[in-house]
């Protein structure tokens, strides 16, 4: 029989990886909780209607749809035939598929809030850490099942929310030993003002799409793209000046005011940015104004964020987010503004791995393995073992009295740091031989010492 395989783009996660990922998720979770956010978990499946049309035409194609059960019911043959015919023309039919796997955490969150907004405490502060599924072509670093980790507050326009999201970011990366992250901030209304100043207010997307590529293709190519889209020479010059704004915050703000100060949106946006970044810096958050930050999504209407990995790794963005005016309008509940941040947990995991920042005890499983030397010895070892477990130490007894070599290899494979041996002699003397596998150091302890002294030598 052929060995079973996994679907392309999916992965098994071994004990070591799950433990490391739990360390990462638990760190993030505890900071979210500290800031008053509560967990939400939504089902893997949503109604197909809920998801379709929310992610653009390309997105729709990448949604995994679930086949209805009972399609072979003879009473339904006609409907099924019609449904099948529709599939050939790229259409989904309720007679074939009514459900799909969630594609992100934002739409399920919006669906939840739209359903329950009258019962929820407002502002509603939730975080959500769950896998999502996308039928993207699998490639290095891109999977069909991956975790997302979102934190949002809806129902409040206060800038305090932005300030707290920045503080959350800072606390998380400090706890993860990545204090040299950076939080880049811009404001969607500055880009709107820039378009207005160029006289192409109705073509904001041309500007944001081009600027979004700056990091990848460079300034000259951005200018070429704008020219191809019929943006005037004078406007391109203005956009170039905008993109070249640098220096400390006060200088950046001065230049932006002289460039865009005639646009009313710019005035408010600059006030908000100034207040926010100054407050963040008072809290020691590494926040900087980055006018070149655009973030493609049209969804955002106010502050926009991007979290960058430390320059010592080549990773780039490890998170982002922003303020939006209308989370739930798509589901018939208008007027609920909010702001959120999404952490790229897979990328942060890779950064921690590359910089070897997972604490050793985050991956520690069993701490000590008792060797099995036969029926009587095993009984003694078991009672010592249960004593250690009762105090919370992860410990094991090899289940069969096989050769030492085999038991030793088991300890090595499982990365168990200590082995404990109780033979005939040790039983008589009420002692135990304990060996640190890595250092080779060996100690003979009384049973009492074993139960009371911690294994950290």
Q: Bridge partners of 303?
A: 187
Residues 8-37 that bind a copy of itself (CB under 8 A): 10-15, 18-19, 22, 30, 33-36
288 to 307: interface string for a copy of itself, x by CB under 8 A: --------------------
Residue length of the chain = 457
Nearer to a copy of itself, 45 or 427 (CB): 45
Residues 394-433 that bind a copy of itself (CB under 8 A): 394-397, 399-400, 409-410, 413-414
Residue 67 is inside which H or E element, if any?
strand 65-67
Nearer to a copy of itself, 50 or 208 (CB): 50
Nearer to a copy of itself, 148 or 252 (CB): 148
CB of 384 to a copy of itself, least distance (A): 14
Q: Which of 56, 57, 75, 121: binder of a copy of itself (CB under 8 A)? A: 121
CB of 138 to a copy of itself, least distance (A): 12
Q: Which of 70, 141, 248, 360: binder of a copy of itself (CB under 8 A)? A: 70
Residue 65 is a binding residue for a copy of itself (CB under 8 A)? yes
CB of 152 to a copy of itself, least distance (A): 13
Left (φ > 0), alpha (ψ -120 to 50) or beta: where does 285 sit?
A: beta
**Is there a contact between 40 and 127 (Cβ–Cβ < 8 Å)?**
yes
Residue 7 is a binding residue for a copy of itself (CB under 8 A)? yes
Query: DSSP 3-state assignment of 82?
Result: helix
Which contacts qualify for 213-216: CB closer than 8 Å, 24 or more apart? 214/243, 214/292, 215/292, 215/316
How many Cα atoms occupy the beta-carbon half-sphere of 165 within 13 Å? 34
Q: Bridge partners of 396?
A: 369
CB of 310 to a copy of itself, least distance (A): 23
Residue 437 is a binding residue for a copy of itself (CB under 8 A)? no
Residue 217 is a binding residue for a copy of itself (CB under 8 A)? no
Give the tokens for residue 33: 């909780």
Residue 234 is a binding residue for a copy of itself (CB under 8 A)? no
Give the tokens for residue 103: 């594609």
Residue 88 is a binding residue for a copy of itself (CB under 8 A)? yes
How far apart CA 364 and CA 174 sit, in angstroms, is 22
Question: Interior CA angle at 151 toward 313 and 182, to 5°?
Answer: 30
How many Cα atoms occupy the beta-carbon half-sphere of 185 within 13 Å? 29
């Amino acid at each position: 029989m052929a060995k079973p395989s996994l679907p392309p783009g999916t992965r098994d996660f071994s004990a070591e990886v799950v433990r490391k990922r739990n360390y990462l998720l638990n760190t993030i979770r505890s900071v979210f909780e500290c800031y008053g956010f509560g967990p939400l978990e939504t089902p893997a499946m949503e109604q197909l209607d809920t998801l379709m049309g929310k992610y653009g035409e390309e997105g729709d194609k990448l949604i995994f749809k679930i086949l209805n059960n009972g399609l072979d019911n003879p009473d339904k043959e006609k409907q099924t035939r019609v449904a099948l015919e529709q599939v050939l023309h790229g259409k989904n039919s309720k007679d074939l598929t009514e459900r799909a796997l969630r594609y992100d955490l934002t739409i399920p969150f919006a669906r939840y809030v739209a359903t329950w907004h009258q019962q929820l405490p407002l502002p509603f502060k939730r975080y959500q850490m769950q896998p999502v599924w996308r039928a993207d072509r699998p490639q290095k670093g891109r999977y069909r099942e991956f975790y997302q980790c979102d934190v949002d507050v809806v129902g409040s326009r206060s800038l305090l929310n932005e300030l707290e999201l920045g503080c959350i970011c800072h606390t998380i990366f400090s706890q993860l030993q990545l204090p040299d992250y950076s939080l880049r901030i811009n404001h969607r209304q500055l880009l709107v003002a820039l378009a207005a100043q160029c006289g192409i207010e109705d073509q904001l997307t041309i500007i944001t799409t081009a600027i979004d590529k700056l990091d990848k293709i460079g300034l000259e190519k951005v200018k070429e793209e704008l020219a191809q889209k019929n943006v005037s020479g004078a406007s391109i010059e203005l956009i170039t000046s905008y993109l070249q704004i640098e220096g400390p915050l006060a200088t950046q703000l001065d230049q932006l005011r002289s460039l865009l100060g005639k646009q009313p949106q710019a005035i408010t946006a600059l006030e908000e940015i100034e207040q926010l970044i100054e407050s963040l810096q008072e809290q020691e958050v590494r926040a900087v104004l980055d006018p070149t930050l655009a973030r493609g999504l049209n969804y955002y209407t106010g502050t926009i964020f991007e979290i960058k990995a430390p320059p010592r790794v080549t990773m780039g963005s490890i998170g982002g987010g922003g303020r939006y005016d209308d989370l739930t309008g798509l589901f018939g509940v208008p007027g609920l503004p909010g702001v959120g941040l999404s952490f790229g947990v897979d990328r942060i995991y890779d950064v921690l791995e590359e910089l070897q920042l997972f604490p050793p005890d985050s991956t520690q499983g069993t701490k000590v393995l008792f060797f099995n030397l036969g029926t009587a010895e095993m009984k003694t070892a078991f009672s010592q073992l249960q004593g250690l477990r009762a105090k919370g130490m992860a410990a094991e007894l090899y289940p069969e009295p096989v050769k030492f070599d085999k038991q030793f290899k088991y300890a090595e494979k499982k990365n168990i740091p200590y082995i404990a041996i109780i033979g005939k002699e040790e039983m008589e003397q009420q002692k135990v031989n304990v060996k640190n596998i890595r250092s080779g150091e060996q100690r003979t302890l009384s049973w009492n010492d074993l139960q009371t002294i911690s294994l950290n030598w």
